[in-house]
Amino acid sequence: MTEIVFIFFSSLIIALSGAMMPGPLLTVTISESTIRGAKAGPLLIIGHGILETILVILLLLGLAPLFQMKTFFVIVAITGAGVLGWMSYGMFRSLPELTLDLSPSKSSGKRILFSGILMSLANPYWFIWWATIGMAYLVQSSKTGVMGVGAFLSGHVSGDFLWYAAVSFTVSRGKGILTDRLYRGVIGFCAGLLVVFAVYFLYAGIKTIVNT
């Protein structure tokens, strides 16, 4: 039992340290939280967690080598760049009409949940992490059986959940000082960050092709 507890908390700490790094998911969490409040972060991570559960199953079935292939990386990187570019375009396009007087009912929780899945799939380094570091930890955890794998996965998702829920809560608490102009500035900044990530992923994909 002690080993199971250790697996859970060590997985949580590793996930927490990784979640704190800037990325598309964090950017979307900030932008969504200004509109939908503290629930945005948890909903995004539910989608993210569903995808990670599926990925863990695929890794246990032996698909780790696929995720490590350069061709797979290039496909995900370039496709991900396109997805992020498309999302940022939509955000920029909506800026003139954005207002804090939006009704939460206009956007369903399912869409936010799907965004959590989409942002994960758009990041090629997410696949690389799971095919290397994640896989190594998964193999180690599996030595203690199903409970070990469960402790690893639940610890990992809990680490993500804690960080993104905290970010979402903090952003939502600051809504009281937001004006429409400042709100548009926050969304515009987040859209700009998505462009940066899109360019970076596109560059990484092209660089991999050139160096092959």
Tokens of 171: 């952003």
* Tens of pLDDT, residues 52-87: 999 999 998 988 888 888 999 999 999 999 999 998
Burial (Cβ within 10 Å: 0-12, 13-18, ≥19) of residue 17: exposed
pLDDT > 50? residue 102: no
Domain that holds residue 103: 2-211
> For residue 131, what are the contacts with CB-CB under 8 A and spacing of at least 6?
59, 64, 65, 67, 68
Tokens of 122: 């758009």
At 107 the three-state DSSP class reads coil
Distance CA 139, CA 50 (A): 20
Instruction: Output the pTM of the full model.
Output: 0.82
Distance CA 180, CA 169 (A): 20
* Tens of pLDDT, residues 118-131: 999 999 889 888 98
Sign of the torsion formed by the C-alpha atoms of 89, 90, 91 and 97: positive
Q: How many C-beta neighbours within 10 Å does residue 145 have?
A: 10
* Predicted local distance difference test score (pLDDT) of residue 101: 59
* Predicted local distance difference test score (pLDDT) of residue 106: 52
Taking Cα atoms as reference points, which of 163, 82, 169 lies closest to residue 118?
Answer: 82
Count how many domains the chain has. Answer: 1
Q: Which residues of 65-103 are buried (b: 16+ CB within 10 A; e: fewer)?
A: eebeeeebbbebbbebbebbbebbeebeeeeeebeeeee
Q: Report the percent of the chain where pLDDT is more than 70.
A: 94
* Predicted local distance difference test score (pLDDT) of residue 107: 55
With residues binned 3-state (H G I as helix, E B as strand, rest as coil), the percentages for the chain, rounded to 5, are: 90, 0, 10
Average pLDDT, the chain: 88
